[in-house]
């Protein structure tokens, strides 16, 4: 599939934003963090800023962005519409939580309720986003078993890494959050490798004969359908050279998972400023790695229509 940067940025930014909102909401719901105004101001500002920037960028991929509001009316049948509705609904408890945390500086009661609802809304919205791609049967690797877990774990991973950095800067530092960030980075790494193994195995991808409804027979293409590239080949048949794919996979694994995990572990072992430096440095590296991973997620996807063109 053609990797549009607007969608790559959307899935990366909004995933991190919802992951951070989920972590803050959970902390408020169970009273795990004191309602520090500076932590709340930067935490919710970063979370809602990433979510809003991601959602706005996603409209740039539409043919008529000014008509994006009409997508909300199709929630009965469209995962895209359901994502839009859930994202807007989630703003309500998220803003209420930010108000209780930053302005009122209260925990328990309304703060806990808003935190629980905000965390739930974040999870539901990420699930809706995953289903936009997971529901597409013509793209076997997206329709497989790894899309939903990857979206949920990647959102939690980037969100907890962000929260960990904020706690190092504004306090109180939590070794538990750091350990959780390391575990999520390693879990994300494992899920991504599972996704690639499933994709490369070709499981779930039909043959040309099956795509034409001819069963398990074997057919071959006699003549190419077109003499030059057309829209379908550009949008649905985007191909990455094997050498570039291998190199980019290594870059994604190092930046998104391996290096952040090492930096987070070092922050656990070192004191003071060095620990904070490593914790903060893990954030941009992980987000950069996720941009590469998201690019590959789209660029390596193979639409069934490409069978018509012999690849």
Q: Going from the N-terminus, what domains does the chain have, and what CATH number goes with each?
A: 5-220+229-309 (1.20.1630)
Q: What is the pTM of this model?
A: 0.91
pLDDT for 284 beyond 80: yes
Q: What is the pLDDT of residue 30?
A: 93
Give the alpha-carbon dihedral of 145, 146, 149, 151, to 10 degrees.
Answer: -130
Q: What is the pLDDT of residue 78?
A: 84
The structure tokens 């350990």 sit at 179
Average pLDDT, the chain: 88
Q: What is the pLDDT of residue 168?
A: 94
Q: What are phi and psi of 119, to 5 degrees?
A: -65, -45
Give SS3 for 4: coil
Of 16, 279, 263, 262, whose CA–CA distance to 168 is shortest?
279
Cα separation, 208 vs 157, whole angstroms: 38
Six-digit token pair at 203? 């499981």
Q: What is the pLDDT of residue 48?
A: 96
Q: How far is CA 8 from CA 16, 142, 239, 298, 299, in A?
A: 12, 15, 17, 8, 10
- Residues 142-154 have pLDDT tens digits of 998 999 999 999 9
Q: Does a cis peptide bond (omega within 30 degrees of 0) precede residue 172?
A: yes
Query: pLDDT category, 202, cuts 50, 70, 90?
Result: confident
- Residues 67-116 have pLDDT tens digits of 666 667 777 788 988 998 999 999 999 999 999 999 998 888 899 999 99
Q: What is the pLDDT of residue 261?
A: 97
Q: What is the pLDDT of residue 108?
A: 82
The structure tokens 């963090």 sit at 33
- Residues 33-68 have pLDDT tens digits of 888 899 999 999 999 999 999 888 877 666 666 666
Which residue has better confidence, 206 or 32?
Answer: 32
Q: What is the pLDDT of residue 56?
A: 85
């Amino acid at each position: 599939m053609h990797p549009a940067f607007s969608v790559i940025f959307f899935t990366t930014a909004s995933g991190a934003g919802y992951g951070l909102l989920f972590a803050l909401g959970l902390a408020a719901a169970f009273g795990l963090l004191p309602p520090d105004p500076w932590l709340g101001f930067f935490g919710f500002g970063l979370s809602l800023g990433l979510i809003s920037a991601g959602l706005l960028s996603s409209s740039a991929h539409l043919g008529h962005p000014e008509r994006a509001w009409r997508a909300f009316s199709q929630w009965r049948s469209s995962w895209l519409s359901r994502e839009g509705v859930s994202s807007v609904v989630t703003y309500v408890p998220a803003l209420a939580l930010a108000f209780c945390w930053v302005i009122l500086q209260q925990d328990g009661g309304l703060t806990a309720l808003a935190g629980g609802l905000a965390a739930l809304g974040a999870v539901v919205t990420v699930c809706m986003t995953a289903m936009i791609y997971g529901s597409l049967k013509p793209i076997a690797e997206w329709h497989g078993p790894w899309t939903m877990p990857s979206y949920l774990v990647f959102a939690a991973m980037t969100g907890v890494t962000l929260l960990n950095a904020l706690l190092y800067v504004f306090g109180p530092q939590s070794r538990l959050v750091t350990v959780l960030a390391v575990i999520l980075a390693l879990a994300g790494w494992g899920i991504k490798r599972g996704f690639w193994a499933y994709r490369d195995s070709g499981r779930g991808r039909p043959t040309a004969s099956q795509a034409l409804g001819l069963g398990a027979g074997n057919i071959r293409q006699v003549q190419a359908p077109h003499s030059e590239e057309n829209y379908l080949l550009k949008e649905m048949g985007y191909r990455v050279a094997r050498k570039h794919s291998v190199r980019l996979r290594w870059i994604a694994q190092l930046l998104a998972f391996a290096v952040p995990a090492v930096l987070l572990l070092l922050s656990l072992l070192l004191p003071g400023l060095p620990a904070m430096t490593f914790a903060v440095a893990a954030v941009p590296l992980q987000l950069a790695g996720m941009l590469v991973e998201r690019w590959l997620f789209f660029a390596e996807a193979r639409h069934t229509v490409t069978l018509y063109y012999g690849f």
